[in-house]
Structure 1
Amino acid sequence: MKTRHFLPLASLIVLFCACGETNKKEVETTPEKEPIEKHHKKHQERNRHHSGSANAYMHKKPVEELIKNFESPERDAYQKPEKVLQYLGNISDKTIMDIGAGSGYFSVKLAEKGAKVIAADVSEEFQEALKKRIENNKLENITLRKIPYNNPSLEPNEVDMVLIVNTYHHIENRSDYFAKVKTGTKSTGELVLIDFFKSETPVGPPLDHKISIDQVITELKEAGYSNFDINVDLLPYQYIIKAK
């Protein structure tokens, strides 16, 4: 397993991109503030387009079928949760928010490793299903938190880690959203983001719903993150980004 380290990213001239894509910014000759405003507006419009279509695409299926897919052996085969948990290191007694927790696929596994987990999701149906799972299996160290689409609902410095798996492309106004995530994370903590390469893969959302590594990095830099660790080798179809 090879891990690339980028500390700090701002000092790099070229950012490695597993997807073979680079974000190109338009050069404008209009007054000084206009390119910045247009740049942010374009990001926000693209975020709304992708998140809206991604949410609609996912919810074409009933929640029961989604949960079955989320918890399937087929997912285990490519998601490799044990390898992901090893990659996260010692999480015992750490407070971790799992954004887009869904059926609790990672929330339960994090709790089993001793973490104090906040399983967060925008879906009332997913939260109800996870509540029943917690009660039926007498699971400990997991609390539920229904969150709005535009806010992670974190208190300042509330968590040691935020984990977001296969959910980044569902979020609107991502730079603003993850600025709030950063505020809710302790100064010693980190954001861990796992999502699909922007390429054709046997699993995952359609290509036009996927977000490239360098677009993620651009948006997270706008949110206030400056240090990144990018892993493109651990999982067959997904990249992992640790951000501080």
Structure 2
Amino acid sequence: MNKDFDGDSAHWKERFEHEGRAIYDKRFEILDAMGLKPGMDVADIGAGSGLISRLIAERVAPGGTVYAVDISRSMTDLIARTAREQNLPNLKAVLGDPHSPRLAPNSVDAVCIIDAYHHFEFHKDMLAEIRKALRPDGLLLLIDFKRIEGVSREFILNMVRAGEGTFTDEFLDAGFDLVERRGDMFPENYLLKFKHRAPPAASAPAAQ
């Protein structure tokens, strides 16, 4: 994440929440892919205007909490204000920083990072902190742009630092296991689902 989104939050809300943007058009399919249930605690990291966070908050009620994390104060202020206006008391805006989402350890059942991971300036730090926050067997859903030389649009090639393979390796190296890949859900994005990798089982003591 970076602070390029500080400033006019209404402008960014309009850009993020409109028909024709793939994430907006497929927003309910994204929720379905997360397997959300009432009572789940979820973090939306790089939440932007809070579109997905608000929808998750409705699905995990009653009993569940959504932490909408962004490093832009204008965005977290917008999310908090919208949560009040739409009576979503289980939606909490969290001001993170480039190294950490500032979530408590073992605090969430699922994490989504949607069109935001390519903005992470310190991805190793962020993934380590996300893994701490994710409960055992927790789900992490990643959606990002397909970056393919000679195929992807120029703005994607300029904005996104690496392709799907590199991003996948970064999550594997951080202690996550890839459990599902969908490359056909969006015209210019892919969806990956990871699980919190369980620690290796302790070896049984040798027989005496």
TM-score (norm 1): 0.70
> What's 1:148 paired with?
97
Kept after mapping to 2: 8 A contact 1:175/1:222: no
Partner of 1:198, secondary structure, is: coil
Structure with greater contact order relative to length (CA < 8 Å, sep ≥ 6): 1
> What's 2:198 paired with?
none
Kept after mapping to 2: 8 A contact 1:97/1:162: yes
Superposed CA offset, 1:90-143 (max 9, x none): 332110000111211100110111242011111110111112211122123211
Q: How many residues end up aligned between the 2 structures?
A: 189
Superposed CA offset, 1:168-218 (max 9, x none): 01112212320211111011202111111114557x953132231111111
> What's 1:68 paired with?
14
The 1:79–1:150 alpha-carbon spacing in structure 2 relative to 1, beyond 3 Å, is farther
Indicate yes or no: 2:80 matched with 1:131.
yes
> What's 1:9 paired with?
none
Q: Which runs of 4+ in 1 moved over 6 A?
A: none
> What's 2:139 paired with?
190
Kept after mapping to 2: 8 A contact 1:98/1:120: yes
Cα RMSD after superposing both structures: 2.3
Indicate yes or no: 2:40 matched with 1:110.
no
Superposed CA offset, 1:25-74 (max 9, x none): xxxxxxxxxxxxxxxxxxxxxxxxxx66xx54x66x84321111111122
Equivalents in 2 of 1:181, 1:77: separation in Å? Answer: 22
The 1:201–1:113 alpha-carbon spacing in structure 2 relative to 1, beyond 3 Å, is farther
> What's 2:159 paired with?
209
Equivalents in 2 of 1:108, 1:76: separation in Å? Answer: 17
Equivalents in 2 of 1:148, 1:159: separation in Å? Answer: 18
Kept after mapping to 2: 8 A contact 1:96/1:160: yes
Equivalents in 2 of 1:155, 1:78: separation in Å? Answer: 29
Equivalents in 1 of 2:42, 2:58: separation in Å? Answer: 13
Equivalents in 1 of 2:125, 2:22: separation in Å? Answer: 32
Q: Which 5+ residue runs of structure 2 have no aligned equivalent?
A: 196-208
Kept after mapping to 2: 8 A contact 1:150/1:177: yes
Indicate yes or no: 2:124 matched with 1:178.
no
Equivalents in 2 of 1:152, 1:126: separation in Å? Answer: 14
Kept after mapping to 1: 8 A contact 2:180/2:193: yes
Equivalents in 1 of 2:193, 2:27: separation in Å? Answer: 16
Q: Comparing both structures, which one devotes a greater share of its residues to helix?
A: 1
Of 13, 31, 47, the match for 1:85: 31
The 1:182–1:205 alpha-carbon spacing in structure 2 relative to 1, beyond 3 Å, is farther
Residue 139 of structure 1 aligns with an amino acid whose one-letter code is L
Identity of aligned residues (%): 28
> What's 1:224 paired with?
175
TM-score (norm 2): 0.81
Deviation at 1:84, TM superposition (A): 1.1
Partner of 2:177, secondary structure, is: coil
Equivalents in 1 of 2:109, 2:76: separation in Å? Answer: 22
The 1:77–1:148 alpha-carbon spacing in structure 2 relative to 1, beyond 3 Å, is closer
